[in-house]
Structure 1
Amino acid sequence: MAITNVYAVMPVADFEAARSWYEHLWGRPADRNPMDGLAEWQVIQGGAMQLLRDPDRAGSAMLTVGVDDADGQAAAVAERGVDMGPVQDTPGGFRVAAISDPAGNVITFAQDVGTNV
């Protein structure tokens, strides 16, 4: 049996407000809307982020997305109206930029730069 897809689920209470916010974050509308209260953005081949209307779990998710240029990613997101704040270096050799969606779910963009930062 082979794994074909992995989905990260971001639960929110106000689905429409969060949907609009994620459209700005990703720079496009959802790729799929499989059912009411669920939208999906394909972020890599075989990997997608799902936005789910689930008020009981809203704000409890964390998503880390590996990127090749954290500064460039933060700048591109800022151009779409979502300010991620400063990109920071970590002791483990990553440059990271993190932001919370309207529900409080945390999305982190992380660039592996090795341990020589």
Structure 2
Amino acid sequence: MELDLFAGIAVRDLARATAWYDHFFDGAEAFDPNDTERVWTLAENRHVYVEVAPDHAGHSMVTLFVADLDVFTAAAAGHGIHPEQRESYENGVRKAIYRDPDGNEIGVGGAPVQAEG
């Protein structure tokens, strides 16, 4: 089955959200489908978008899983965006939890760190 994913995040202010997510998704292709939305293409057929929906802003939860969590968090930190919280699970999976300007939760997970040797 062919599948495209569009994960939506409700925000209050499109310009403020666009600035934050442009930094967070550094380098991701983005486009504006209309006056109330912005879309970032994170991988083929996988997109995250923000939409002006003030009554719902701050209640969205999205989790991404990346190949190298440390590289992602370092890149975000380079833009002044730092996780609010970090978690590690029994199986070694790690997660950094970010909050956008409206308080929406954006989790970024990564595989366990492989022991060298």
In the superposition, the TM-score normalised over structure 1's length comes to: 0.86
Counterparts in 2 of 1:112 and 1:3: CA distance versus 1, 3 Å = same
Counterpart Cα distance in 1 of 2:54 and 2:72: 29
Counterparts in 2 of 1:55 and 1:86: CA distance versus 1, 3 Å = closer
State the shift of 1:81 in Å.
1.8
Q: Which runs of 5+ in 1 are unaligned?
A: none
Q: 1:24 matched to which residue of 2?
A: 23
What secondary structure is seen at the aligned counterpart in 2 of 1:24?
Answer: helix
TM alignment of 1:17-56, pairs within 5 A: 17-28=16-27, 31-56=30-55
What secondary structure is seen at the aligned counterpart in 2 of 1:72?
Answer: helix
Q: Which runs of 5+ in 2 are unaligned?
A: none
Which has the higher mean CA deviation after the structures are superposed, 91-100 or 38-47?
91-100
| Amino acid corresponding to residue 41 of structure 1 in structure 2 | W
Runs of 4+ in 1 over 3 A off after TM superposition: 85-88
What secondary structure is seen at the aligned counterpart in 1 of 2:23?
Answer: helix
Counterpart Cα distance in 2 of 1:78 and 1:36: 29
State the shift of 1:19 in Å.
0.9
State the shift of 1:68 in Å.
1.4
Q: 2:111 matched to which residue of 1?
A: 112
Query: Is 1:66 paired with 2:29?
Result: no
Counterpart Cα distance in 2 of 1:60 and 1:85: 16
Counterpart Cα distance in 2 of 1:103 and 1:3: 33
State the shift of 1:28 in Å.
3.9
In the superposition, the TM-score normalised over structure 2's length comes to: 0.86
Counterpart Cα distance in 2 of 1:64 and 1:77: 15
Count of residues in Structure 1 that have an aligned counterpart in Structure 2 = 114
State the shift of 1:86 in Å.
6.2
Counterpart Cα distance in 1 of 2:66 and 2:26: 16
What is the root-mean-square deviation in Å for CA atoms of aligned residues?
2.1
